[in-house]
Amino acid sequence: MHSAAAVIGINHFGKRPLDETLPALARHGYGAVDYSAAAGRLAGDVDALAVARRLTRDLGLSPAATHFRSFGFAFLTPGGRRDTFLRESVEDVRVAAYLGVRAIAFHLGNDLATQPGVPERDLATANAEALRPAVRVAEQEGVVVALENHCHGFGDRWEHLVAVADLLASPAVGFTLDSGHAVVAGQDPALLARRMGARLALTHLHDNHGTADTHRPAGRCGPNGEEDGAAAVDWPALIRALREVGYPERNVWLLEGGTQLPGDDVERLLAAHRACFVTILRHVTDGNQVSVHRRDAESAEPRREERVNRGDAETRRAWSFGHRENRENRESKRIEARGVPLCALSAFSASLR
């Protein structure tokens, strides 16, 4: 049985700075934010991160997720790019912890696949080795490293994701379901959600025609999602699958926008993404009417804890991904005790460990 209220969030997208995006999300009725790659890209700017965290709180938004600062896949081959990834992935996890999010999405790398004869098990091993330092920090910080399905070769299928997760063997490793990536890669998003199960920590919900990752609102196409079209995602099936695995009790409904088409406008897309998804939630029910609230962050935590207390074994396991001891208080105490500025960034990583 799903909860009676739904919190809907969306990612930071377009070329606006975060301090402009966050008020826009609140203005359009969103209750949560995925800071996306913008968070990690601010890793060296303590003041900007402090402003983002404070503004999120003041606007009543729930900090739900971030994304590793690079959307690329070339970080497995030994050399400069891999060294950069090893450093930046740890920094980005610390930034995610500072912002108070539940999960940070990571794509799997696949640059080794360009070499002839490299088996998938070696690609999985190389990804696990590259991600391991970030996962260790995630374990300390209470953040989930959520491996995301993409649509660019190795990393686009469940078998790839679970192989890396099994090698990492950490309770701080979960999954991100990207519905748009799934259909472009010829995968069924609903089946992928069920396979991710209790380890599904994050969603990137958006649509397309099945041939390109255009980040359209659910069931729509064209610039700003203003046209009817043959959208590829089966939304009723996906919503039912997400409810079956208990996802809405672990995180918010996170949508994902982007300005991939000529004529796209961030304001119009923000409005369209939420309106389309709200319509779907109101029509896809399992016997209970769904109400959609823009700011329900305070009630989300008790709902997850109540579910755990009922003894649902699978959800108890999932709770470990989403539950953190009052991170803000914990981080403040740790940092205050050392007399350094409030941040959880690489520049102060020695002080924060």
231 close to 216: Cβ distance less than 8 angstroms: yes
- Rounded distance, CA 22 to CA 30, Å? 10
How open is the CA angle 142-192-222, to the nearest 5 degrees? 100
DSSP 145: E
Residue 164, both tokens: 């890396």
Please give the helix or strand (H or E) that residue 144 lies within, else none: strand 144-148
Q: How many residues appear in the chain?
A: 353
pLDDT for res 229: 72
Task: Report the CATH fold assignment for 5-352.
Answer: TIM Barrel (3.20.20)
What is the phi-psi region of residue 287: left when phi exceeds 0, alpha when psi lies from -120 to 50, beta otherwise? left
Torsion sign, CA atoms 263, 264, 268, 273? positive
Domain residue spans of the chain: 5-352
Long-range pairs for 323-327: beta carbons < 8 A, 24 or more residues apart: 323/142, 324/100, 324/102, 324/142, 324/143, 325/142, 327/97, 327/100, 327/141, 327/142
Residue 94, both tokens: 């610390």
Residue 110, both tokens: 């696949």
Helices (H), 147-296: 158-168, 179-184, 189-196, 235-244, 266-283
pTM: 0.81
pLDDT for res 239: 97
b/e per residue, 271-300, with b = 16+ CB within 10 A? bbbbebbbebbeeeeeeeebebebbbbeeb
pLDDT for res 336: 33
- Rounded distance, CA 28 to CA 21, Å? 11
Digits of tens for pLDDT over the chain (353 positions)? 334 468 999 999 998 999 999 999 999 999 999 999 999 999 989 999 999 999 999 999 999 999 999 867 676 788 888 899 999 999 999 999 999 999 999 999 877 666 677 788 999 999 999 999 999 999 999 999 999 998 888 878 999 999 999 999 999 999 999 999 999 999 999 999 999 999 999 999 999 999 999 999 999 999 999 988 768 999 999 999 999 999 999 999 999 999 999 999 999 999 999 999 999 999 886 444 444 444 443 333 433 333 333 333 333 333 333 334 434 443 443 333 323 222 333 332 332 23
pLDDT for res 196: 97
pLDDT for res 114: 64
- Rounded distance, CA 55 to CA 18, Å? 9
